[in-house]
Structure 1
Amino acid sequence: MLELSLLFCILALVITVLNVFSIITPRNGGQIKQRVSVLVPLRNEEENAVAIVETLAAQENLSDVEFLILNDNSTDKTDDLVTSTARNDSRFKIMQGSPLPDGWLGKPWALEQLSQSARGEMLICIDADVRLSKTAIAAAVDSMDEHSLDFFSAYPSQVARTFGERMIQPLLQWSWLSSVPLAIAKRSSNPSFAVANGQFFAVKKSALMQSGGYSTIKSEVLDDMQMARVLLRNKFKGTVGNGALIAQCHMYSSWGELRNGYAKSLWKGFGGVFGSIIAIALLVLTGIIPIISAATGSPFGWLAFEAVLVSRLISAKITRANLFDSLLHPISSALLIYLIIYSWLMRGRIQWKGRTV
């Protein structure tokens, strides 16, 4: 078992190093001539409503842009705050969401309405808790053009303040940086290589519509990953990238929020029961066995732990995470195992934004 653990830890390090040289990292965007539509679904987001309008209004280098914000039947002050903040900017269009149809989950339905109303050639889906650099959207479109992509997910830097956030958020970024060979992924249409983050998801409208739009994933909790897979199955090209230089996101502010947030999606994130078992096994092999073996004086254990630690440190460096938190990789792994199991136990029973998911 230790030999297998060492093998996977070294493999994770090798893939991480290779990805450092191949990952797409948007920086400063040039002037964009294409018509761009930025889509933002909001439901009970009064704490983010003003800030998301302000970060969008500050965007530069976009010759033809519209900002479409959909109030998804919020029961708080979201609509009032968005409307008042965007009132004097003609680029903004505030939409009122239609009631949720049977068989649809909230976010896919909101994005379906937004995408149908969008006039842009390029659609940029942004979550309410994302904050952008001034040329973030231009930089993402530039990256798509440079690499001839049909879709691109610029994974934001994850703001992590509480202990739970610091243990989980960087680990999830490391999980794909250390397992998906991005040089292959960005040239492939194989859905197995799909990695995406709905916090910042750019897609050509033509590719989205030819793939069936959001109706193809209407009941999917992980709308981002599933949409990436749908696009790849339809032979469109796309990949995930390092968006740490252009965007940041603060998803959760407490352990309870984080646990419920991931409980609604982790059970689906690994492709079912078998995939979840594989994920737990890999977390044990790369996060638990190395430190236990190292503590008993095993040279192989120390080597495995050092390999995975270097991999974590590299990931933290390029994604702007806390380097010190990487040292607590075994704790992070144990907590993620707990969250995967908890997600399976709670599937279909979690309340999120006033809806059951």
Structure 2
Amino acid sequence: MVIAAFLLNTLLLLITLINFALLRRPTKARAIKESVAILLPVRNEAENIERILNELLAQENLKNFQIIVINDNSEDKTAVIASEFKSPQITLLNAPAPQPGWIGKVSALDFGLNQISNAHSDYIISIDADVSFKPDAISRAIATAQDLNLDFISPYPRQIAFTWTERLIQPLLQWSWMSTVLLRGAEKIPMKSTVICNGQFLVMKTQSLIQSGGFATVSQYVLDDIELGRAFVRAGFRGVVIDGSELAATRMYSSFAEIKSGYGKSLHRAFGGVIGALFVTLFMVLSAIIPLLYSLSGNFLALAGLAAIIATRMLSAYSSSSRIRDCFLHPISALLFLYLLYYSWSHRSQVQWKGRTI
């Protein structure tokens, strides 16, 4: 078992080293002449709406852009605050209640896309309200997609974490793909199994999105961003995740209760069912728990395996400007992740998100 853990972690380290060296990063800023539509679905985002709209209005190098705020039946003052912006670049839409079986955010995005379908737009940018954007974020993201001749790109925002549980869990998001997917290979030879897509900040060619079936193709998926990327691949289009830490940042959760709620709604659907969840459990135990336990007795291979998996975390953290010292707690992160996976499965029939049952 120790040998298997050592070999696995050596492989993960090799993949991480390759990705660290070859990870796509944003190109330099330049003027974007193409028309851009920014879709901002919001539900109960009163704390974020003013900031995000000001950041979007301040975007540089965009010659022709519009901001479509899609109010998804907010129960707070989100719509009121948004309506106070009088910029001609902002359009506020009030989305109807989600269709039966549809996820609320996806339904709102689909409504927004349909409302602007008659107005030509070269690029669709889908973003979340809790993401903070640098002034050149969107123009650099589009320029990168153009330089790489890609139909979609996913600039991965820097994940801000303050509390201990945030610091233990949130870095696993980027680490999970940095250590397991050869990104350049996934870019050159797209496959559904290697799609990395983050709906927090997603850049898409409008025609490619429409030809892929639009947001309607992912109407019932909690992990709509990953499934949307797979829809692109099925339609023959190409895309890739890039380092977005220079462009955007987000603090997804601010407490362990929010972490449980957020991961509780999605983890049981993230790995394709029970077999996938068991495989991920084995993966985390073999790569993180076994090396720690056997290293306590001085086993050299276990120590080497533990060092290798921590090194993967350090490379991932460095590439995203995250805390390096937290990487040494990776076995604890793995245990906490497994708890969240169990929690998600045990509560899968009673998942609530923003006041809705999913």
Common fold by TM > 0.5: yes
Gaps of 5+ in 1: none
Matches of 2:164 and 2:8 in 1, distance apart?
A: 27
Matches of 2:336 and 2:177 in 1, distance apart?
A: 17
How far did 1:49 drift? 1.1
Match of 2:93 among 92, 95, 100: 95
Equivalent residue for 2:58? 58
Q: 4+ residue stretches of structure 1 with deviation over 4 A?
A: none
For residues 319-334 of structure 1, what are the structure 2 equivalents within 5 Å? 319-334=320-335
Equivalent residue for 1:214? 215
C-alpha RMSD of matched pairs (Å)? 1.0
Asked whether the equivalents of residues 109 and 215 of structure 2 are also in contact (C-alpha less than 8 Å), the reply is yes
Equivalent residue for 1:74? 74
Equivalent residue for 1:340? 341
Matches of 2:115 and 2:189 in 1, distance apart?
A: 30
Equivalent residue for 1:141? 142
Aligned-partner SS, 1:186? helix
Give the residue type in structure 1 aligned to 2:326: D
Equivalent residue for 1:127? 128
Asked whether the equivalents of residues 6 and 301 of structure 2 are also in contact (C-alpha less than 8 Å), the reply is yes
Matches of 2:12 and 2:262 in 1, distance apart?
A: 27
Say whether residues 1:309 and 2:310 are aligned partners.
yes
Matches of 1:326 and 1:189 in 2, distance apart?
A: 30
Q: Deviations over 1:204-229 (max 9, x none)?
A: 11111111111111110000001011
- TM-score, normalised via structure 2 length: 0.97
Q: Deviations over 1:256-305 (max 9, x none)?
A: 00111011011111122111111111111111111111111100011001
Asked whether the equivalents of residues 291 and 302 of structure 1 are also in contact (C-alpha less than 8 Å), the reply is yes
Asked whether the equivalents of residues 129 and 249 of structure 1 are also in contact (C-alpha less than 8 Å), the reply is yes
Say whether residues 1:277 and 2:275 are aligned partners.
no
Residues 1:348 and 1:201: Cα distance change in structure 2 (over 3 Å):
farther
Matches of 1:145 and 1:348 in 2, distance apart?
A: 43
Give the residue type in structure 2 aligned to 1:146: D
How far did 1:117 drift? 2.6
Asked whether the equivalents of residues 18 and 181 of structure 1 are also in contact (C-alpha less than 8 Å), the reply is yes
Give the residue type in structure 1 aligned to 2:47: E
Say whether residues 1:162 and 2:191 are aligned partners.
no
Matches of 1:128 and 1:215 in 2, distance apart?
A: 21
How far did 1:51 drift? 1.1
- TM-score, normalised via structure 1 length: 0.97
Q: Deviations over 1:88-140 (max 9, x none)?
A: x2111111111211121101101101222334210110101000111100111
Asked whether the equivalents of residues 27 and 246 of structure 1 are also in contact (C-alpha less than 8 Å), the reply is no
Asked whether the equivalents of residues 27 and 144 of structure 2 are also in contact (C-alpha less than 8 Å), the reply is no
How far did 1:202 drift? 1.0
Equivalent residue for 2:258? 257
Equivalent residue for 1:24? 24
Say whether residues 1:175 and 2:176 are aligned partners.
yes
Give the residue type in structure 2 aligned to 1:83: S
How far did 1:23 drift? 1.4
Asked whether the equivalents of residues 28 and 135 of structure 1 are also in contact (C-alpha less than 8 Å), the reply is no
Matches of 1:29 and 1:354 in 2, distance apart?
A: 40
Match of 2:112 among 111, 114, 129: 114
How far did 1:189 drift? 2.5
Give the residue type in structure 1 aligned to 2:94: Q
Equivalent residue for 1:33? 33
Asked whether the equivalents of residues 165 and 255 of structure 1 are also in contact (C-alpha less than 8 Å), the reply is yes
Aligned-partner SS, 1:245? coil
Judge which range, 1-10 or 20-29, deviates more: 20-29
Asked whether the equivalents of residues 41 and 71 of structure 2 are also in contact (C-alpha less than 8 Å), the reply is yes
Give the residue type in structure 1 aligned to 2:78: T
Matches of 1:27 and 1:295 in 2, distance apart?
A: 45
Matches of 1:277 and 1:234 in 2, distance apart?
A: 31
Q: Deviations over 1:290-338 (max 9, x none)?
A: 1111111100011001111111111001111111111100000000111
Matches of 2:52 and 2:337 in 1, distance apart?
A: 29
Aligned-partner SS, 2:161? coil
Aligned-partner SS, 1:239? strand
Residues 1:236 and 1:348: Cα distance change in structure 2 (over 3 Å):
farther
Gaps of 5+ in 2: none
How far did 1:29 drift? 2.4
Asked whether the equivalents of residues 132 and 247 of structure 1 are also in contact (C-alpha less than 8 Å), the reply is yes
Asked whether the equivalents of residues 186 and 240 of structure 2 are also in contact (C-alpha less than 8 Å), the reply is yes
Give the residue type in structure 2 aligned to 1:255: F
How far did 1:27 drift? 5.1
Matches of 2:347 and 2:199 in 1, distance apart?
A: 22
